[in-house]
């Protein structure tokens, strides 16, 4: 085997070319890590979304609560009587744990930052709740210290930790969710929602949300829920009850375990992941060609060296391994720096989308994650590019004839 000092010395002699190639690898690997961290953050959010025992009820034919509407009167006439005799529903003091909800999107106007500038807008996800404490239990959400659930007699709200931070609001602050509408809501609690889809939501009275943001029709005196979430013991029980609810003759609804609901919303993550892999492949091709050019140049500059090494008795295999090792060293230096640079995004808060495929979905706040799987893939990516990028130049060096090389 050719001494490692020989490889290290040659890299130092060609330090400028080596540095440029390593920088290219650094950027490629750093971008790969950032994209994978984004995907991992969304996947972690989706994995933690929904209680395994929860069943979500939507309008018949709807797969997204944004496009669902279930008449409140129909629910109380047809469903509540069935719940009272269903022993598989979890109860609190004899009352089934059921969350009646109306989900909607509002547009919040953000005043211009300077005179003459245009106002900007932000979408707010608002959820109207009948009984906030029960809904908190159904969704396993607690309030941060000092907060309380909103009073149904006033115009109050609680909100997820992520949206509170985004809007710069704290407990006791007031804000108007939509300009021109009567209610000015007071924030009375911040929900501990880190790592859940509710991190981006604002909760208030169902009547307020239904009237100003939902589908209630005051002229016809009709009120609607967009979703109803029922708590059972576990996933199998939730799946069994979902089928029971779907087959009701009294009311036509779509029912599914809440885990399945969020799994469907998370299908868009796979699309992003495929895009990230495709971009990584394109970048890998560019990185490999850059490394090939560097190594072919190294072979051209060291033809006589290769001849001398062969005359001294080093076999072709040693020449091949020597140039492959140099290629791997360049790739590893760049890859390590890229991994360190990309890992700096770990824990950074981002905004993403869970899509239903019906044009709806949810905007979610989540944290980017650089975990063991991201690091493993980045290392494999680096080593693969290093080997493939150095193989052809190493092969050409191995094939040089000793006497022809030293002439």
Per-residue pLDDT tens over the stretch 173-214: 998 887 777 678 899 999 998 778 888 899 999 988 888 887
Asked if pLDDT for residue 282 goes beyond 80, the answer is: no
Q: Are residues 328 and 209 in the same domain?
A: no
- Highest mean pLDDT: which of 127-136, 279-288, 366-375? 127-136
Q: Are residues 204 and 256 in the same domain?
A: yes
Q: Which of 142, 137, 172, 178 is nearest to 157 (CA)?
A: 172
Q: Which of 158, 226, 228, 144 is nearest to 198 (CA)?
A: 158
Q: Are residues 18 and 78 in the same domain?
A: no
Following CA atoms 290, 294, 296, 300 in sequence, which dihedral angle do they give, to the nearest 10 degrees? 150
Q: Are residues 94 and 235 in the same domain?
A: yes
Q: What confidence score (pLDDT) does residue 404 get?
A: 54
Final residue in a domain of this structure, among 246, 264, 282: 264
Looking at residues 224-245, what average pLDDT do you find? 92
Looking at residues 114-143, what average pLDDT do you find? 86
**Number of independent structural domains in the chain:** 2
Q: What confidence score (pLDDT) does residue 139 get?
A: 92
Q: Are residues 190 and 335 in the same domain?
A: no
Residue range 62-97, pLDDT digits in tens: 888 888 888 888 887 777 777 777 888 888 888 889
Q: What confidence score (pLDDT) does residue 101 get?
A: 93
Q: What confidence score (pLDDT) does residue 25 get?
A: 79
Q: Are residues 136 and 86 in the same domain?
A: yes
Final residue in a domain of this structure, among 264, 298, 324: 264
Least confident of 93-107, 221-235, 239-253, 289-303: 289-303
Q: What confidence score (pLDDT) does residue 298 get?
A: 67
pLDDT-based confidence at residue 240 (cuts at 50, 70, 90): very high
Q: Are residues 280 and 364 in the same domain?
A: yes
Q: What confidence score (pLDDT) does residue 136 get?
A: 92
Q: What confidence score (pLDDT) does residue 62 get?
A: 86
pTM: 0.73
Q: Maximum distance among all alpha carbons in the chain?
A: 98
Q: Are residues 128 and 238 in the same domain?
A: yes
Structure tokens at 297: 């140049």
Asked if pLDDT for residue 341 goes beyond 80, the answer is: yes
Q: What confidence score (pLDDT) does residue 94 get?
A: 80
Length of the chain: 407
Higher pLDDT, 115 or 251: 251
Q: Are residues 344 and 254 in the same domain?
A: no
**Is 163 exposed, middle or buried, given 0-12, 13-18 or 19+ CB atoms closer than 10 A?**
buried
Query: Residue 315: CB partners within 8 Å, gap ≥ 6?
Result: none
SS3 state of residue 157:
strand
Final residue in a domain of this structure, among 237, 264, 291: 264
Inter-residue contact 195 to 42 (CB < 8 Å): no
CA distances from 11 to 32, 141, 205, 256, 326 (A): 26, 57, 68, 61, 8
Q: What confidence score (pLDDT) does residue 393 get?
A: 72
Higher pLDDT, 173 or 162: 173
Boundaries of domain holding 317? 4-47+267-406
Q: Are residues 163 and 140 in the same domain?
A: yes
Q: Are residues 111 and 257 in the same domain?
A: yes
SS3 state of residue 24:
helix
Query: Residue 307: CB partners within 8 Å, gap ≥ 6?
Result: 400, 401, 402, 403, 404, 405, 406
Q: Are residues 252 and 282 in the same domain?
A: no
Higher pLDDT, 233 or 112: 233
């Amino acid at each position: 085997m050719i001494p490692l000092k020989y490889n290290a010395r040659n890299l130092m002699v060609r330090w400028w070319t080596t540095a440029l190639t390593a920088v290219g690898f650094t950027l490629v690997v750093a971008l790969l890590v950032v994209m994978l961290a984004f995907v991992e953050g969304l996947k972690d959010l989706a994995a933690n979304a929904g209680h395994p025992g929860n069943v979500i009820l939507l309008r018949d034919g709807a797969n997204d609560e944004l496009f669902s509407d279930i008449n409140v009167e129909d629910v109380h006439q047809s469903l509540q009587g069935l719940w009272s005799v269903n022993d598989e529903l979890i109860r609190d003091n004899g009352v089934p744990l059921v969350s009646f909800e109306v989900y909607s999107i509002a547009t919040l106007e953000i005043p211009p930052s300077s005179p003459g500038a245009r106002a900007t807008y932000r979408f707010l996800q608002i959820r109207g709740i009948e009984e906030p404490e029960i809904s908190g239990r159904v969704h396993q959400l607690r309030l941060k210290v000092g907060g309380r659930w909103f009073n149904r007699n006033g115009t109050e709200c609680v909100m997820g930790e992520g949206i509170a931070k985004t809007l710069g609001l704290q407990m006791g602050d007031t804000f108007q969710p939509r300009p021109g509408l009567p209610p000015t809501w007071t924030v009375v609690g911040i929900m501990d929602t880190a790592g859940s889809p509710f991190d981006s939501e604002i909760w208030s009275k169902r009547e307020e949300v239904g009237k100003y943001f939902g589908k209630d029709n005051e002229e016809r005196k009709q009120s609607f829920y967009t979703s109803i979430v029922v708590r059972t013991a576990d996933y199998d029980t939730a799946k069994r009850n979902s089928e029971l609810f779907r087959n009701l003759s009294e009311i036509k609804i779509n029912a599914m375990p809440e885990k399945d609901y969020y799994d469907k919303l998370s299908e868009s993550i796979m699309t992003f992941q495929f895009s990230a892999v495709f971009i990584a492949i394109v970048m890998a091709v560019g990185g490999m060609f850059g490394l090939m050019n560097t190594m072919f140049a190294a072979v051209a500059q060291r033809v006589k060296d290769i001849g001398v090494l062969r005359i001294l008795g080093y076999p072709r295999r040693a020449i091949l391994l020597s140039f492959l090792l140099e290629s791997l060293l360049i790739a590893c230096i760049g890859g390590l720096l890229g991994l360190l640079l990309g890992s700096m995004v770990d824990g950074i808060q981002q905004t993403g989308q869970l899509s239903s495929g019906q044009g709806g979905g949810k905007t979610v706040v989540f944290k980017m994650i650089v975990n063991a799987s991201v690091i493993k893939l980045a290392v494999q990516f680096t080593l693969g590019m290093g080997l493939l990028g150095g193989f052809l130049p190493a092969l050409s060096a191995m094939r040089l004839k000793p006497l022809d090389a030293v002439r």
